[in-house]
């Protein structure tokens, strides 16, 4: 059918309605149309065959036929002319050119070649583009299509490419030029240069250049100078020395990176994700602080939190939904070996954690550390001290109330700008808090200083209490004395008048005079429960053994923890037994009967003997 959109050059025949309606006329029109169609279909066949089939053999058409007939077919098959031109450029001799019997197959192959050629051209263009912008040379050679070379080889275009590369190269400095030179050595490890010399990858000149390049990829903190700025060459010996030197600081660097990132390893991210998924937190906003022991993040709690998540599971949150603070601080405890060594001291002698400490791996210990902070915060809160409320604890991730507002963390006491009156207030508040902490919460902060007290809404807030210990901890008094020293020094520097000395503060808190009582006496009082009279009795020989100071009080903490452990075990056991008794009365009766029989047999046996 002829297209209705083609402009018809033939004049439109005028027909009247009667003719149009005539069936005969309709048949005539149809026949005419069919004839026109068959004529049109025939024509390209003739043309194609005229290209491939004229010549001595129908199977081997000559190139001259191809070239010669190209003009004729221009309208219908433009590609033909292109190919003939390309074949010409390629220098393929007409007689070399084998034409397959099936001309359609040849057309397909040539079209494929044309496609491949264009595809390769595009790749080269991308390659040039990339290499122009970057110092790193990329090659897309392995993606080039083979068909290109099979039928077409456009040397003219290749020359152009070389020219353009030359043009680009002019802009590169020597360093990058050298880089390309090295890259040009194929995988087999050698190449032959223009002079016919073989150059291997071990060539001293090339090695020197390569070494210079490698130096440029040393860690950024290693000063290399601008090797690209001059023609730097380094012998293998020099390079090896430089490399050894650059690696010297590396383990340190890895440790630092690990420490910085440790808080947010995959496991931690999963925990945070769960907090969001359980609708406790809405979003995590960013880092408040990265200390040596913990990373603190700021987060918003989920306003839709109802006390359980959407699946009805309890989320472990330690407060009712309506008290959930809008802004939260997430403390993520870091897990590196160095810190454990410092922490050991606080946790291993804390009888509460004693029996769990020695047998655990790093992960569990770090979780205990977070748990310890949670317990201590809650204990401090219970006696009315200002500490962040604990929201939830998940392994080594502790979520608590954010001290501050609108994403602005409250300043540390050391950074807070306080008036003289406020400083005095802060001092009074801290002294009272230390007293309360020791005497009511039975805790010693053990890292109390202006760094771990925040100033918010005109009050002091105590944080960072993971290391806090009970007074019976063997080092509790030593820690307390250090805390007193920190606080007194700070307020002294701030010029607060009439403040305690650290010994006076210590005495105020403990009721013990550190100047009067020596360390052994203090230890006796605190770790063994002796009265002051006993501890200060002139004749220590008469002091009961149980109250004599130990040279190394570690054992005491151990003993106590063992006793506590046994006691809780025994308690649990009796509870379990009671439960079992009601469940298995019948079983026990039959067991009892069996035992009776056994006992009787035993008695009989011994009687015989």
Query: Which residues ranging from 481 to 520 are in contact with Mg ion (CB under 5 A)?
Result: none
Contact, 100 vs 58, CB < 8 A?
Answer: no
Task: Tell me the closest approach of the beta carbon of residue 301 to ligand ADP, in angstroms.
Answer: 13
Task: Tell me the closest approach of the beta carbon of residue 445 to Mg ion, in angstroms.
Answer: 11
Residue from 154, 447, 464, 483 carrying the catalytic annotation: 447
> Residue 412 interacts with ligand ADP (CB under 6 A)?
yes
Distance between alpha carbon 51 and the CA centroid of its chain, in Å?
Answer: 66
| Helical residues (DSSP H) of 359-510, grouped into ranges | 362-382, 420-439, 476-493, 502-510
Q: Interface with ligand ADP by CB under 6 A: which range of 73-81, 88-96, 286-294, 340-348? A: 286-294
> Residue 291 interacts with ligand ADP (CB under 6 A)?
yes
Q: What share of the chain is helix, strand, coil (3-state, %, to 5)?
A: 55, 10, 35
Spell out the residues 6+ positions from residue 376 whose beta carbon is closer than 8 angstroms to its own: 443, 465, 466, 468
> Residue 299 interacts with ligand ADP (CB under 6 A)?
no
> Residue 464 interacts with ligand ADP (CB under 6 A)?
yes
Give the span between the Cα atoms of 103 and 109, in whole angstroms: 10
Query: Which residues ranging from 436 to 455 are in contact with ligand ADP (CB under 6 A)?
Result: 452
Among ligand ADP, Mg ion, none, partner that 403 touches (CB below 5 to 8 angstroms by kind): ligand ADP
The backbone torsions φ and ψ at residue 404, rounded to the nearest 5 degrees and listed phi first, read 145, 180
Task: Tell me the closest approach of the beta carbon of residue 461 to ligand ADP, in angstroms.
Answer: 8
Spell out the residues 6+ positions from residue 410 whose beta carbon is closer than 8 angstroms to its own: 403, 404, 454, 455, 456, 461
The number of beta carbons lying within 10 Å of the beta carbon of residue 430 is 21
Q: Interface with Mg ion by CB under 5 A: which range of 33-41, 122-130, 450-458, 495-503? A: 450-458
Q: Which residue is nearest to Mg ion (CB)?
A: 464
**Three-class secondary structure of residue 17 per DSSP:** helix
Q: How far are the Cα atoms of 379, 488, 566 from residue 483, in angstroms, in the given order?
A: 19, 9, 34
Smaller CB separation from ligand ADP, 228 or 400: 400
Q: Are strands 404-405 and 408-409 parallel, antiparallel or unpaired?
A: antiparallel
Structure tokens at 222: 């290693």
> Residue 464 interacts with Mg ion (CB under 5 A)?
yes
Give the span between the Cα atoms of 452 and 296, in whole angstroms: 13
Q: Interface with ligand ADP by CB under 6 A: which range of 2-10, 293-301, 539-547, 587-595? A: 293-301
Q: Which of 151, 239, 402, 438 binds ligand ADP (CB under 6 A)?
A: 402
Task: Tell me the closest approach of the beta carbon of residue 415 to ligand ADP, in angstroms.
Answer: 9
Task: Tell me the closest approach of the beta carbon of residue 357 to Mg ion, in angstroms.
Answer: 22
Q: Which of 232, 275, 294, 297 binds ligand ADP (CB under 6 A)?
A: 294
Q: Interface with ligand ADP by CB under 6 A: which range of 40-48, 139-147, 405-413, 571-579? A: 405-413
> Residue 452 interacts with Mg ion (CB under 5 A)?
yes
Task: Tell me the closest approach of the beta carbon of residue 380 to ligand ADP, in angstroms.
Answer: 13
Q: Which of 347, 463, 484, 505 binds ligand ADP (CB under 6 A)?
A: 463
Task: Tell me the closest approach of the beta carbon of residue 292 to ligand ADP, in angstroms.
Answer: 6
Spell out the residues 6+ positions from residue 208 whose beta carbon is closer than 8 angstroms to its own: 233, 234, 235
> Residue 350 interacts with Mg ion (CB under 5 A)?
no
Give the span between the Cα atoms of 466 and 11, in whole angstroms: 101
**Three-class secondary structure of residue 393 per DSSP:** strand
C-alpha closest to that of 396 among 271, 256, 226, 230 = 271
C-alpha closest to that of 183 among 220, 163, 213 = 213
Among Mg ion, ligand ADP, none, partner that 482 touches (CB below 5 to 8 angstroms by kind): none
Q: Interface with ligand ADP by CB under 6 A: which range of 230-238, 402-410, 486-494, 495-503? A: 402-410
Q: Interface with ligand ADP by CB under 6 A: which range of 149-157, 195-203, 287-295, 421-429? A: 287-295
Task: Tell me the closest approach of the beta carbon of residue 543 to ligand ADP, in angstroms.
Answer: 41
C-alpha closest to that of 526 among 497, 501, 550, 493 = 550
Among ligand ADP, Mg ion, none, partner that 483 touches (CB below 5 to 8 angstroms by kind): none
Q: Which of 179, 293, 371, 483 binds ligand ADP (CB under 6 A)?
A: 293
DSSP state of 134: -
Smaller CB separation from ligand ADP, 259 or 527: 259
> Residue 395 interacts with ligand ADP (CB under 6 A)?
no
Among Mg ion, ligand ADP, none, partner that 444 touches (CB below 5 to 8 angstroms by kind): none
Smaller CB separation from ligand ADP, 233 or 343: 343
Query: Which residues ranging from 69 to 128 are in contact with Mg ion (CB under 5 A)?
Result: none
Q: Which of 403, 431, 441, 448 binds ligand ADP (CB under 6 A)?
A: 403
> Residue 331 interacts with ligand ADP (CB under 6 A)?
yes
Largest CA distance in the chain: 147
Task: Tell me the closest approach of the beta carbon of residue 461 to Mg ion, in angstroms.
Answer: 12
Contact, 25 vs 15, CB < 8 A?
Answer: yes
The DSSP element (H or E) to which 11 belongs, if any, is: none
Q: Which residue is nearest to ligand ADP (CB)?
A: 291
The site that binds ligand ADP (CB under 6 A) totals a number of residues, namely: 20
> Residue 288 interacts with ligand ADP (CB under 6 A)?
yes
Residue with tokens 């690209």: 228
Beta bridge partners of 392: 399
Contact, 550 vs 544, CB < 8 A?
Answer: no
The DSSP element (H or E) to which 521 belongs, if any, is: helix 519-528
Give the span between the Cα atoms of 32 and 36, in whole angstroms: 6
Task: Tell me the closest approach of the beta carbon of residue 264 to ligand ADP, in angstroms.
Answer: 14
Is 447 in the active site? yes
Contact, 426 vs 413, CB < 8 A?
Answer: yes
Q: Which of 332, 350, 354, 388 binds ligand ADP (CB under 6 A)?
A: 388
Beta bridge partners of 328: 299, 401
What is the binding site for Mg ion (CB under 5 A)?
452, 464
Residues with catalytic function: 447
Interface with ligand ADP by CB under 6 A: which residues? Answer: 288-289, 291, 293-294, 296, 329, 331, 388, 400-404, 409-410, 412, 452, 463-464
């Amino acid at each position: 059918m002829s297209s209705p959109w083609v402009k018809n050059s033939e004049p439109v025949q005028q027909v009247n309605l009667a003719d149009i309606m005539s069936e005969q006329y309709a048949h005539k029109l149809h026949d005419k149309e069919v004839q026109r169609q068959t004529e049109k279909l025939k024509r390209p066949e003739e043309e194609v065959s005229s290209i491939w089939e004229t010549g001595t053999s129908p199977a081997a058409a000559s190139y001259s036929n191809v070239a010669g007939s190209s003009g004729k077919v221009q309208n219908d098959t433009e590609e033909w002319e292109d190919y003939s031109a390309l074949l010409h450029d390629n220098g393929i001799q007409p007689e070399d050119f084998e034409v397959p019997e099936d001309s359609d197959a040849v057309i397909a192959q040539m079209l494929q070649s044309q496609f491949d050629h264009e595809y390769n051209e595009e790749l080269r263009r991308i390659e040039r583009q990339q290499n122009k912008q970057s110092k790193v040379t990329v090659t897309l050679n392995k993606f080039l299509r083979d068909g290109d070379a099979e039928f077409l080889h456009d040397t003219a275009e290749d020359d152009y490419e070389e020219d353009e590369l030359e043009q680009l190269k002019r802009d590169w400095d020597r360093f990058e030029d050298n880089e390309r030179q090295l890259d040009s050595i194929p995988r087999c490890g050698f190449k032959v240069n223009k002079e016919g010399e073989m150059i291997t990858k071990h060539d001293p000149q090339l090695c020197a250049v390569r070494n210079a390049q490698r130096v440029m990829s040393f860690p950024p903190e290693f000063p290399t100078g601008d090797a690209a700025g001059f023609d730097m060459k380094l012998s293998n010996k020099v390079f090896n020395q430089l490399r050894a030197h650059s690696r010297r600081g590396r383990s340190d660097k890895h440790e630092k990176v690990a420490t910085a990132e440790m808080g947010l390893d995959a496991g931690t991210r999963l925990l945070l994700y769960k907090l969001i998924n359980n609708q406790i937190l809405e979003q995590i906003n960013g880092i408040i602080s990265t200390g040596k022991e913990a990373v603190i993040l700021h987060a918003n709690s989920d306003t839709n939190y109802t006390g359980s998540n959407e699946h009805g599971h309890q989320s472990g949150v330690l407060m009712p939904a309506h008290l959930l603070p809008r802004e939260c601080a997430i403390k993520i405890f870091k897990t590196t070996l160095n810190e454990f060594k410092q922490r050991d001291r606080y946790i291993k002698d804390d009888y509460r954690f004693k029996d769990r400490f020695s047998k655990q791996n790093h992960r569990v210990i770090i979780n205990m550390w977070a748990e310890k902070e949670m317990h201590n915060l809650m204990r401090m809160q219970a006696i009315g001290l200002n500490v962040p409320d604990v929201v939830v604890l998940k392994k080594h991730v502790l979520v608590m109330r954010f001290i501050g507002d609108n994403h602005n963390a409250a300043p540390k006491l050391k950074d807070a700008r306080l008036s003289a009156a406020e400083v005095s207030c802060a001092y009074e508040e801290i002294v009272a808090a230390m007293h309360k902490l020791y005497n009511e919460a039975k805790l010693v902060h053990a890292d109390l200083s202006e760094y771990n007290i925040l100033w918010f809404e005109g009050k002091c807030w105590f944080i960072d209490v993971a290391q806090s210990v009970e007074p019976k901890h063997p080092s509790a008094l030593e820690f307390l004395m250090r805390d007193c020293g920190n606080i007194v020094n700070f307020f002294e520097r701030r010029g607060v008048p009439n403040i305690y000395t650290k010994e006076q503060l210590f005495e105020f808190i403990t009721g013990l005079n550190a100047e009067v009582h020596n360390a052994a006496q203090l230890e006796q009082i605190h770790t063994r429960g002796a009265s002051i009279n006993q501890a200060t009795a002139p004749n220590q020989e008469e002091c009961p053994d149980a109250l004599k100071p130990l040279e190394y009080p570690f054992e005491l903490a151990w003993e106590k923890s063992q006793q506590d452990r046994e006691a809780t075990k025994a308690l649990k056991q009796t509870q379990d037994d009671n439960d079992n008794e009601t469940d298995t009365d019948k079983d026990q009766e039959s067991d009892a009967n069996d035992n009776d029989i056994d006992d009787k047999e035993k008695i009989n046996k011994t009687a015989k003997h």
